[in-house]
Amino acid sequence: MATRAADQSPATPDDGRPRPRVLVHIGEPKTGTTFLQQVMWSNRAELAAQGVVLPGHHPQDHFRASQDLRGIEKRADDPAGSWAGEWEILAHQARQAPRAAVISHELFSAVDEEQAQRAVRSLQPAEVHVVLTVRDMASLLPAEWQETVKHRNDRGWEDWLSDVIDRESVDPDRRQWWFWRVHDTLAILRLWAGQVPPERIHVIMTPPQGSGNALLWERFAALLGVDPGGVDLSRARANTSLGLPEIEFLRRLNQALPAEVPDWFYMWTVKEGVAHRVLADRPRQGRLVLPADRSLAGQVLATGKPVTVSDYLADPRGAEAARDLMGHIGPKMIFPLGAPGNVLGALSVGRRRGGPPFTPAAADVIASFAAQAGVALELAARRSDAERLSLYEDRDRIARDLHDLVIQRLYATGMALEGTVSMIVVPEVADRVRNAVDAMDETIKDIRATIFALQARADGPAARLRPDIVGIVDEMAVMLGFAPSLRLGHGLDHAVGPETSEYLLTALREALSNTARHAKATKVEVSVEVDQSDQLVLRVTDNGAGIPAGVHRSGLRNLAQRAGILGGVLELGPAAQPGGGTALVWRVPRMTA
């Protein structure tokens, strides 16, 4: 193993300055690297103010440096300039950092031992740290296949997956294959551990799906030693996955393109232009997942039958990701929790490698425990159903009382007051009565919105729409710093097409997000209804500063584009209220399912 070059560097450079920290972020690919790079480059000045610099002039400089370090020859038909010497230029600039510098590109994960040694040696006398971002294999594999399609691959998902798992992963030298060259995490860590001390190697796990990218940035910012709130995350573009129709369209486009189309043209026109700027903006439909038969637990869930293996690490039916994490397991048994056709989970029991296999008596005990656990899960599910039913009945009773008693009385009182206005001779008193009637009308609308929320069910697309709207408004209250006013009008009880519902919820989230980021509002009103022309109408009104000049309008373009796809429109203008603000109206046909 090579010596650790960073250990031999002096404490300070020759000019007496304290040596900087240089963080070399080496990937892996598809682990949030694009998002992190976008955050840093779009907030370059803010990071520099905190003592962190990005050497080079453009993110492409880090890509070119990775190609130079790895000795990749530039294709003759590529019109870009030569990248020879780019790594040394970048390393020289990083060494001049006053406090810290970041070099980031996911292709650094593909270097060999000699190239890693050269990288560390050329960064001396800086204190070199290596940062590796990783991701769970179950979500990584579909993401990587999509990325290969964006790089001109026309192979189908199952065909590609079979090669990666069944053929390449079992190769004694599997890093000769591209997927494992950049995703054999343990091999990559061992390689860099030969160059820098272990305390300078950092592994960041990408947050679970649904957690948002902010958490990933917070973890990375902690290594940089900067305030994570000191940057604007809205400037960054994540390299999001495409929907199933979009990625299939791209795959078929790859099949149709002639081989004469140069790669550089494909990358700029198809990957950047078609995939990232057009297809990525479409609402995502469907999500690739690993087939159930790609893991032992998945087979048990699918068949309802137990599985026994004598050596888990050697069994080809196990998921590669699980084998990497549980390489110490030898004999293993997996039992279904529940009866076939209604399996609620799987119970895995294993022994360390070298341990004795499970005896029939031990297997019977575990099977009995799994059966009892399955019954307990079934009872818990039934109890949860009963509690949910009881809750729904209580909500229905409260909703009936609110409608039959409270609303009717308020309505009757309002009518009586409105009828007396003409008999009041003092104008000030008449105005106060009119204001009271208006306030009662608003109260009736608020109570009706409460009734809609109480009666919300998850039985179908139309029934789910109301609670989904309420859920998004509640969720965005944290980002806004206050709870928006919400009114759900009539017409939402009728069927609304699932695509229309999905677009509406996306538009609502985008509109509230824009308000939170740019409007500086203290009040937001949201209403959703189906109007007399059978149009589904979303209104978001705030009392903020309006849309600032020069603000990035990609979110508004997305809203308009989604409305246009459904045959609708986006209307944006000043709010008709004292103090100004913005009124956004998103209007589309209801499109009943």
DSSP of 200-261: GEEEEEPPPTTS-HHHHHHHHHHHHTS-GGGS-GGG----PPPPHHHHHHHHHHHHHS-TTS
Among residues 551, 545, 552, the alpha carbon closest in space to that of 574 is found at 545
pLDDT digits (tens, 9 = 90+) for 356-374: 988 989 889 998 998 888 8
Rounded to an integer, the average pLDDT of 330-355 is 86
- CATH entry 3.40.50 includes domain 5-140+181-235: yes
Q: Is the pLDDT of residue 4 over 80?
A: no
pLDDT digits (tens, 9 = 90+) for 183-222: 999 999 999 999 999 999 999 999 876 667 788 999 999 9
Rounded to an integer, the average pLDDT of 294-318 is 78
Average pLDDT, the chain: 83
Highest mean pLDDT among 103-117, 154-168, 328-342, 351-365: 103-117
Q: Which residues contact 2 (CB under 8 A, 6 or more apart)?
A: 113, 117, 194, 195
Among residues 208, 6, 206, 26, the alpha carbon closest in space to that of 103 is found at 26
Q: Which stretches does DSSP call E strand in 383-515?
A: 485-488
Q: Is the pLDDT of residue 119 over 90?
A: yes
Task: Judge contact between 29 and 147, C-beta under 8 A.
Answer: yes
pLDDT digits (tens, 9 = 90+) for 270-305: 998 888 888 887 776 767 777 766 778 878 888 888
Is the pLDDT higher at 7 or at 478?
Answer: 478
Cis geometry, peptide bond prior to residue 246 (ω within 30 degrees of 0): no
pLDDT digits (tens, 9 = 90+) for 150-163: 999 999 998 999 89
The count of other CB atoms within 10 Å of the CB of residue 529 is 15
DSSP structural state of residue 407: I
Q: How far apart are CA 378 and CA 373, in angstroms?
A: 9
Share of the chain above pLDDT 90, in %: 35
The count of other CB atoms within 10 Å of the CB of residue 257 is 14
Q: Is the pLDDT of residue 107 over 90?
A: yes
- Beta strand 21-25 pairing with 127-134: parallel
Highest mean pLDDT among 30-44, 236-250, 464-478: 30-44
Q: Is the pLDDT of residue 2 over 50?
A: no
Q: How far apart are CA 338 and CA 371, in angstroms?
A: 7
SS3 state at 130: strand
Crossing angle of helices 59-69 and 33-42, rounded to 10°: 130
Task: Judge contact between 544 and 521, C-beta under 8 A.
Answer: yes
Among residues 493, 498, 490, the alpha carbon closest in space to that of 529 is found at 490
Task: Delimit the domains of the chain by residue range.
Answer: 5-140+181-235, 291-357, 359-455, 457-593
Task: Judge contact between 103 and 55, C-beta under 8 A.
Answer: yes
> If one looks up domain 291-357 in CATH, what number appears?
3.30.450.40
Per-residue buried b or exposed e for 135-167, using 16+ beta carbons within 10 Å of the residue's own CB? bebebbbbbbbbbbbbebeebebeebbeebbee
Rounded to an integer, the average pLDDT of 301-329 is 73
Is the pLDDT higher at 90 or at 211?
Answer: 90
pLDDT of res. 26:
97
Is the pLDDT higher at 446 or at 4?
Answer: 446
Instruction: Please report, to the nearest 10 degrees, the dihedral formed by the alpha carbons of residues 371, 375, 381, 384 taken in order.
Output: -140
Domain 291-357 shares a fold with domain 457-593:
no
pLDDT of res. 14:
54
> If one looks up domain 457-593 in CATH, what number appears?
3.30.565.10
64's tokens: 């070119």
Give the angle 390-392-393 at the CA atoms, nearest 5°.
Answer: 65
Highest mean pLDDT among 153-167, 405-419, 458-472, 491-505: 153-167
Among residues 527, 503, 500, the alpha carbon closest in space to that of 583 is found at 527
Share of the chain above pLDDT 70, in %: 83
What are the distances in angstroms from CA 289 to CA 26, 143, 249, 286, 325?
Answer: 26, 10, 19, 10, 20
Task: Return the minimum-mean-pLDDT range out of 8-22, 416-430, 477-491.
Answer: 8-22
pLDDT of res. 567:
87
172's tokens: 């004694």
52 backbone φψ class: left, alpha, beta (φ>0; ψ -120 to 50): beta
Q: How far apart are CA 287 and CA 72, in angstroms?
A: 34
Task: Judge contact between 180 and 174, C-beta under 8 A.
Answer: yes
Q: Is the pLDDT of residue 537 over 90?
A: yes
Among residues 71, 93, 109, the alpha carbon closest in space to that of 201 is found at 109
Model confidence at 47, pLDDT cuts 50, 70, 90, reads: very high
pLDDT of res. 481:
81
SS3 state at 137: helix
pTM, to two decimals: 0.57
